[in-house]
Structure 1
Amino acid sequence: MSDTTNIFEQSPDFDTFGGRLSRARDASGLSVKELAWQLSVNMSTINAWESDRSQPSSHRLFNITGLLGVSLSWLLHGIGSGPAEDDFESPIDAFSEQLARLRALHSDTGRLIRQMQQQMEG
């Protein structure tokens, strides 16, 4: 479900930010240690976020949503694309899928850079 879906048509997830973060991390197969390493923070920081003692900064929120495969609106407010908890996709398959998307984005970025260079030269 995309973030552009009418929020009034969805049932919100009434868990706290920390609860949603913890569930998304579990669903992604990442440990607290792995997520902390990916975000370059201490494990105690992840624990504080998951226990609602603090919240990440805005730039970290975008990194978290990308790593965990959830929407920003779901993580913050419980409405939007949450973790696929019923999904039995292996972590390696999920990683391969994310890597394929990243390669496609890299290719598109290179194409756009070349187009911009041609326009500037032309």
Structure 2
Amino acid sequence: MEKRVFTKDMASIKTAEVIECPDCAFEFSVIHEQSETNGLYSCPNCQEDNLEADNYHLKEENKRLREALEFYAEQENWKRHNTSEPYSLDGGYEAPTWEPSAIEFDEGKVAHQALQGGKIK
């Protein structure tokens, strides 16, 4: 199929109001007026930048939350380790002592750090 070209004289010329965004100097048509409010405009260029920033922050949050889930899902982190063997003292039985599991020792700190946006230690 042959590409058709034309001149300005052959086309209908329409005029449109163009607005320049005060934040980024991008020029766009007034059709980007906010439908619910008269006279307020939304710059398509700034919106795209905001979406990219939002996407970055969501990916970072997802990474933190996944790290926290992996910590709590790891079965080894739930195991307690005994620090002494059971023994008998004067015929009585003494139970071994146990070290808390990584989960017990953590007391939810990993979850709180992930939810609050901090670096998980």
Identify whether the pair has TM-score above 0.5, normalized to the shorter chain.
no
The structure richer in strand per residue is 2
Bigger RCO (CA 8 Å, 6+ sep): 1
TM-score (norm 1): 0.28
TM-score (norm 2): 0.28
Larger radius of gyration: 2
